[in-house]
Amino acid sequence: MNTQIDSSFTPDALVVGGGIAGLQSALDLADQGLKVLVVERQASIGGHMIALSKVFPTLDCASCITTPKMSAAAHHENITILTSTEVEAIESAGGVHHVKLLQKPTYVNFDKCIGCRLCEYACDTEYPDPFEEGLGAVKAIAVPFTNAIPQKAVLNAEHCSTCGTCARVCPTDAIEFDQQPRRLTIATDAVIVASGFKLNSITVKPQYNAQRSQDIISPLTLERLLAPHGPYGRVLRPSDGKIPGSIAFVQCAGSRDESIGVPYCSRVCCMYSIKQAMLLSGALPLADITIYYMDIRAFGKGYEQFFQNAKAMGINFVRGKVARIDPLDGGDLSLHVENTEEAENPIAERRHDLVVLAQGMIPGWNPAAATPVACAADGFVATTSLTAPTATVAPGIFVAGTAAGPKDIVDTIAEAGAAAMQASQYLFQKRAEALVG
């Protein structure tokens, strides 16, 4: 995998984001013989998907689907990957996009690092591991996670004590404390924006009181708890390490809610909550699992059947929006909910010992500020073409995956292919015109 390039490198296309959308777009371009540069902000490609436990509706382990695509991209002769790199701006002129990149210092020379992790083992400074959603600890210098690509150590300057131990144990002298941020501009004919999503804050709804209890968790935290190689190796509630006996999923906790500025549906929450509920009932057969919902949106291929299976497995589905969550003394959480299907006492207080808030998807990056790409009222990249859903308002710049609105993995992968098709056509036609002159 080529990780060091300079401005003389002119790829046919540049893909912003090395998550599942960006990787699929890159592979679909590269398989047509086009040279692609993938730029990823994080220290590893793989995006959100590589951190998931299993994926609906097949219950394949997420790593099993993501790692081959990561590996295929990393080994592809037509793909170059830059990690720990951000896109600062795109300036388009005369049909060429000048993409301004900022390579953040990793304090490790990737040409020298052999991924042996001796520095990581020797380092004695730890901080909450972002890959484990803060549940485990990671060393200040470390390979980001087990199946990260590239397998190179990265030093986190914020947490480093500058003791120098890593430099002393490194067998290849790869540690460079004096690394500086590096700026470079890449000229390319086509860009695919695959910058993904983030979840809105877990405290976005003050009535859910997430700041008052560690046991009101994010769905991504539960993904890590459910992952076989997760922080605890099993499902324990974060506050006291107790095995949870009663788990609640609160749907639409950050979506379909004009009061928090997210009026739209985040499209994946129903299905991942159902999946997590199924996995939990496997991991904790005695646990009581309830999903509080407004509408179950199991719309994709095989999804409705998946939902019906979950019902048959004994997962409780309660139709009602949770109004408030109160942490109680002793660790339980009290949910105030109206069960609209209950004729007697529809308004009830229900107690659980772990609550998962289905936070909404919001854009991972706002390209409108520094690129010719425009965003729509929902904050995601605007697409206006009637017949090319992956075209942006800027010629030669395309969009794929959750950068253009919430989307599940299946739809993301299809859209990534479509964006690659649109970009390759654009390149083909541009070059055909150039030949005709």
Nearest Cα to Cα of residue 257 among 403, 349, 362, 341: 362
Paired strand residues for 399: 193
Report the residue number, 86 or 304, with the smaller CB distance to another protein: 304
Report the residue number, 240 or 341, with the smaller CB distance to another protein: 341
- Sort 276 into a burial class: Cβ within 10 Å, 0-12 / 13-18 / 19+: buried
Cα Rg of the chain, angstroms: 23
In the complex, the smallest distance separating the C-beta of residue 276 from another protein, rounded to whole angstroms, is 17
In the complex, the smallest distance separating the C-beta of residue 58 from another protein, rounded to whole angstroms, is 6
Report the residue number, 93 or 343, with the smaller CB distance to another protein: 343
| Angle at alpha carbon of residue 288, lines to 300 and 337, rounded to 5° | 75
Report the residue number, 330 or 437, with the smaller CB distance to another protein: 437
- Sort 361 into a burial class: Cβ within 10 Å, 0-12 / 13-18 / 19+: buried
In the complex, the smallest distance separating the C-beta of residue 201 from another protein, rounded to whole angstroms, is 21
Report the residue number, 19 or 57, with the smaller CB distance to another protein: 57
What separation, in Å, do the N-terminal and C-terminal C-alpha atoms of the chain show? 36
In the complex, the smallest distance separating the C-beta of residue 249 from another protein, rounded to whole angstroms, is 16
In the complex, the smallest distance separating the C-beta of residue 179 from another protein, rounded to whole angstroms, is 23
In the complex, the smallest distance separating the C-beta of residue 426 from another protein, rounded to whole angstroms, is 8
Report the residue number, 56 or 365, with the smaller CB distance to another protein: 56
In the complex, the smallest distance separating the C-beta of residue 44 from another protein, rounded to whole angstroms, is 10
- Record the tokens describing residue 181, joined without a space: 């941020």
- Sort 300 into a burial class: Cβ within 10 Å, 0-12 / 13-18 / 19+: middle
In the complex, the smallest distance separating the C-beta of residue 332 from another protein, rounded to whole angstroms, is 27
Report the residue number, 106 or 255, with the smaller CB distance to another protein: 255
Report the residue number, 46 or 238, with the smaller CB distance to another protein: 46
Residues 6+ apart with CB under 8 A from 432: none
